Structure 1
Amino acid sequence: MDSYCSSSILLKMSREQLVVERTRKAFLTGSTKPLKFRIQQLQCLLRFITERRKDIADAVHKDLYKSEHGTELFETLGLEGDIQLAIEKVWEWAAPRPVEKTLLTISDEVYIRPEPLGVVLIIGAWNYPWAVTLKPLVGAIAAGNAAVIKPSEISSHSAKLMEDLLPLYLDKDLYPVVTGGVTETQELLKQRFDHIFYTGNCTVGKLVMQAAAQHLTPVSLELGGKSPCFIDKNCDLNVACRRITWGKFVNCGQTCIAPDYILCEASIQSRVVEEIRKCIKEFYTEDPKTFKDYGRIVNQRHFRRVVALMEGSTVALGGDRDESQCYIAPTVLKDVTGTSTVMTEEIFGPVLPIITVSGLDEAIGFINEREKPLVVYVFSHDKKLIRRVITETSSGALLANDCLVHATVSALPFGGVGNSGMGCYQGRHGFDRLSHLRSCLIKKLNMEAVNSMRYPPHTAKKMGWVRFFLFNQVSVCRLRRMALLTLVTVVAGFLVQVKKRKQMLHYHIITHIINY
C-alpha cells in the first residue's frame, strides 16, 4: 500500500519538481561541502569547456552566427579564467575570516565562516548562452552549493548541447540541466530554492522576484538597461569611436553592457558618425553581411523588435536589413531625442543612437532622469570631468575610455543597481554572493566575574564598565603585529646586550695580555 501511495505521488509531481527534489536530496548528503570535492567538480567543468570547445562553438554559430574564434574570445576564454581562479583561490575564500573584537570578546574565537546556501537555481540568457549561464555555476560550485541549471530556450542549440554533455562531466544529481520554455521555467519557479540567479530582462526579472518571494528566496538579478556613453569633444575621437564601435557591434549588439546610446555635443556629431563609419569598414569590411565575425539577431521576433525601434529616427549610416537571415547592418542614428522610439527600451541590437547635448551638465542630467544603467561610459582626457561623472551619476559600473573590458577583471564585482539589477558576481564576489557568511563566536565557560556587569541589577557603575569594554575595538591583526614588534624588540635588545658583553670580554682579554 505504501509503495502504491509513493508511486501515485511521484506520478503527480512534475518533471521539474522531481529534479529539484532529487537535487536537494543529493545536497543533504553533504557531499558538496568538502573543498576537495568542489575543486574536483570545477576541474571537471574546466575539462568540459576545453574538450568540447569545438562543439560549443558549433552550437553558438547555429544560434547567433558567431565565429569559432569569436565564441572562444567572448564565451569560453573568460569561463576558463574564472574556473582556474576558483580552483586556485577556493581554499582562501572558504577559510574562516577573523574580525575585530571588543575587550569583552578578547579571549573568544570570533570569525565569519562561509557556508553553502543549499540548492541554487541558475536561469541563463541567450545572448552569451555559455558565459552567462556557467559563470554563476562556477561560484555556486566553489561555495559548495548544488545547482539546477536552466539555459535559455531561445539559444536552443546551446541549450541542447548543455543538456546532453554537461552531465557527462559534472555530478548529474547535484548539477542537473533542465531545458524547455516558459512553462518549464514557471514550474521551476514554483519550487523552493535557496537562491535564484537570473540573467535577462527587467520584465521577467520582476516575475522571478515575485515567484521567489513566495518562499522568501533571495535573488540575484542581472538585467542590463540603457547604458549611456558620453564623449567629451576634446578627447581623441579616433580612438574613442574605435572602442565604442567594437563595444557596440560585438555579438550584433546583443550584449547587456554594450553602450546603448551616445551623448555628445552637436559640434562633433558628424565627426563621430564619420569615425564610426571608418571603424565599421575596418572591422567588418564593406559588406558586414558576408563577414564571418559579424553575427545575427537571435530570431525573427527580436529582429522585428529592433527594426521597430528605429522608426521615426534618421539613419546616419547602415540601416540595411534582411529578415530571412535576421541580419541588421551596423547602424547609427543621428539627431535622436529623449522621446524617440529607440529610447523607450534597451536596444539589444546593432543600432547606436546619437543624442546631442550642450555639454557635461546636460549629459549628467539626461542620465540621472532615467533608470540607473548597468554601465556608464565616458571618454575624455580630463580626469576632473571623469571624476564628476563618477560622483554625480549612479550605475552598476563606470568605465572611462573603453567599453566592456571591466567585465574581464575578476577582482571587480559584476552587477547592476536599481532597475539594472541587484547582487553581483565574478571571482570572490560570486563565491560570497552564493554563500551564507555565518557569524561565529565561541566563548569559554570561565571568567564569569567579567560577565557580572551585564547581569541584574543594572547600575550606573556597571554601565560605565560596559561602555568601556564594549566600545573599545581590538584588531586581531593589530594585536599580532604589536606582539611581533614586541618580540622583535626583545630579541634585538638581547642581541645588543650579547654584542656588548662580547666586546667587554674581548677588551678584558686584550688588557690582560698586555699587562701580562
Structure 2
Amino acid sequence: MVLRQKQSAVGRRGAFGLEERRSALAHLRQTIERRERDIVAALMRDFGKPEPEVILTEILPVLQEIRHTMRHLKGWMRERRVAPTLSTLGTSARIRPEPRGVCLIIAPWNYPFNLALSPLVSALAAGNSAVVKPSEMTPATSRVIAEIIEQTFPADLVAVVEGGREVSQRLLEQPFDHIFFTGSPEVGKVVMAAAAKHLASVTLELGGKSPTIVGPGADVEKAARWIAFGKFVNAGQTCIAPDHVFVHKSVEAAFTAALRRTILRAYGDNPRESRDYARIVNAHHAGRLGALLADAVEKGARVSFGGEAEGTFLAPTLIEAITPQMRIDEEEIFGPILPLIPYDGVDTVIARINERPKPLALYVFDREPGFAQDVIARTSSGGVGVNLTTLHYSHPALPFGGVNHSGMGAAHGHYGFRAFSHEKPILTERWSAVPLLFPPYTQRVKRLIRMARRLLG
C-alpha cells in the first residue's frame, strides 16, 4: 500500500526551470551538510566505514556533483544551435534538452549514500522527478537517505521506497521513463529486461574484474600507494577497485615489498584494530570472500600477506600463484583480496584482458608514456587510469561508465545531465529548396534529384 502511494505521488511536473532546479539542489546540499554526523554514524553502523572515508568517498562526491552542476546548469539547459548541411540549407536547427519524466534510481550497498544521491543530482538537474530505492543491505544509511529526501523535497518531486528484493521487483514492473541502476552485471540484465517491457531508457553502472598492469618502467613506490588505496579503501568493496595486478617480473620483488610496506603503514600490524579500515558489509559477503580464498588455496594459490578473517573482518590480503581453474580468477572479487600475477611480455597480458568481458576500469603504471598508450590502444574498458587508480570517478567533467558487460551509458556532470535528458531536435523551415523535389516527379524534378545526388552523395 505504501509503495503504491509513493509511486502515485511522484509524477510529471509542470514548469521546473533553472531556478527551481538550482533551488532543489541547494536545499539538498544544505540538508546533507546539516545531517553529516548522522550520515557518518549510519555508515559506521552498516559496515564500520571510518569517518574520513565516509567524508572522502560518500559525502564529498555528492557535494562536488551539486556544486559542479549548479555552476554549469544554465549552459547545459540552453538550446544548442546546429549549422545546416547542404541538404538542409534554408532551415534553422536546434537541440533542446528536455526531462525524460519520472525516473527510478536503484542504488547499491557498497557506496550507499554516494551512489543513491549522485544520480539524483543529475536527475533533478535535468528536470525530472524521481523515485530512489536505497539498498536494504545498508539499512541505517537507507533510513538516513529517506529522512534527507523527505526533509528536502516535496513528495511529487522525489520519493524514497525502502525494502528488499521484492520491492525492487515491484518497482521494475512500473512504467518509469528512465531507470538508473548501479550494481552487478547479473542484476543489470534483469533491470534491462524489465525496462524493455515499457521501452524505458536505462543507464547501467555495473562492474567486472578491473585489471591493473605494473610495467617494467613503473615507479613501484607510487604504484604501491595508488593500488593499495584503490584496492583496500572500503575494504575492497569498490566497483572500480583493482581486481588483480599484472606485475612485470623485473619489478615484481620491489613492487611486492613496496605494497606490503604501504599496507602496514596504512593499517598497521593488526588491521583488525585499525580505525581506518572498514568491514565487509555482512556475513554473507564475508563468507563469499572466504570461500573464494579457500578455493584458491586448495587449488595451489599462496597467501603471501594477510588473510586473517573473523566475522565481517577480512585483512588486506595478497595472493600469488593464481591459475585459471580458480574461482578467484573468474569472479569479480569485490573485497580486500589482491592477486599478484607476474608476466614477461605485455602482449600476453593484453591478450588475457581481451579474452574477458570488458572491465569497468583499467589501470596502467609505467614512467614511459608509450607503454600506457599501447595498452590503451589495444584494450577496451569503461575508463582508464594511468599511474593512479579510482580517481577518474571523482572528475566531474569526465563521463563515468562501463562498456558492454561493465555498463551502458554515462554518469557525472554534463554526462549525467544528458543521461536523464531527451535531446529533442527541432528543425524550422525558412527558405528551403527541398519542395522543388516533391512529386509529381516530372522530367524537371528528376533532373533536379539527379543533380542533388551528384552534389550531396
TM-score (norm 1): 0.84
Give yes or no for the alignment of 1:20 onto 2:7: yes
List per-residue Cα deviations over 1:15-74 (Å, max 9, x = no partner): 3333222212xx2x414x312111110111111121111111111111121122211111
**Native 8 Å contact 1:123 1:151 kept in 2:** yes
Give yes or no for the alignment of 1:263 onto 2:249: no
List per-residue Cα deviations over 1:279-300 (Å, max 9, x = no partner): 0111111221111110000000
- Aligned pairs for 1:272-351 within 5 A: 272-311=255-294, 312=297, 313-323=301-311, 326-351=312-337
Moved more, 14-23 or 143-152: 14-23
List per-residue Cα deviations over 1:89-133 (Å, max 9, x = no partner): 111001111112024544432111100000000000111111111
- Pick from 80, 92, 107: which aligns with 2:63? 80
CA distance in 1, matches of 2:126, 2:168: 24
TM-score (norm 2): 0.95
Amino acid at match of 1:398: V
- Pick from 98, 115, 120: which aligns with 1:132? 115
CA distance in 1, matches of 2:85, 2:215: 51
TM-align CA RMSD:
1.6
Amino acid at match of 2:340: I
Q: Which has the larger radius of gyration?
A: 1
CA distance in 2, matches of 1:150, 1:329: 31
- Pick from 429, 438, 454: which aligns with 1:454? 438
Amino acid at match of 2:20: F
CA distance in 2, matches of 1:395, 1:232: 18
- Aligned pairs for 1:431-510 within 5 A: 431-444=417-430, 447=431, 451-457=435-441, 459-467=445-453
Report how many aligned residue pairs link the two structures.
450
Give yes or no for the alignment of 1:153 onto 2:136: yes
- Deviation of residue 145 (structure 1)? 0.5
CA distance in 2, matches of 1:259, 1:449: 58
Give yes or no for the alignment of 1:234 onto 2:217: yes
Amino acid at match of 1:20: Q
CA spacing shift, 1:437–1:341, aligned 2, 3 Å: same
Could you tell me which residue of structure 2 aligns to residue 181 of structure 1?
164
Give yes or no for the alignment of 1:56 onto 2:39: yes
Could you tell me which residue of structure 1 aligns to residue 382 of structure 2?
396
**Native 8 Å contact 2:32 2:148 kept in 1:** no
Could you tell me which residue of structure 2 aligns to residue 482 of structure 1?
none
Could you tell me which residue of structure 1 aligns to residue 366 of structure 2?
380
Could you tell me which residue of structure 2 aligns to residue 207 of structure 1?
190
Moved more, 432-441 or 160-169: 160-169
**Native 8 Å contact 1:454 1:466 kept in 2:** no
SS, match of residue 213 in structure 2: strand
List per-residue Cα deviations over 1:133-164 (Å, max 9, x = no partner): 11111110000000000000001100011112
CA distance in 1, matches of 2:252, 2:378: 24
List per-residue Cα deviations over 1:475-511 (Å, max 9, x = no partner): xxxxxxxxxxxxxxxxxxxxxxxxxxxxxxxxxxxxx
Could you tell me which residue of structure 1 aligns to residue 14 of structure 2?
30
SS, match of residue 363 in structure 2: strand
**Native 8 Å contact 1:193 1:217 kept in 2:** yes
Moved more, 134-143 or 268-277: 268-277
- Deviation of residue 333 (structure 1)? 0.1
Q: Which runs of 5+ in 1 are unaligned?
A: 1-13, 472-516
Amino acid at match of 1:353: P
SS, match of residue 306 in structure 1: helix
CA distance in 1, matches of 2:362, 2:423: 31
Amino acid at match of 1:18: Q
Could you tell me which residue of structure 1 aligns to residue 344 of structure 2?
358
Q: Which runs of 5+ in 2 are unaligned?
A: none
Moved more, 109-118 or 460-469: 460-469
CA distance in 2, matches of 1:264, 1:172: 53
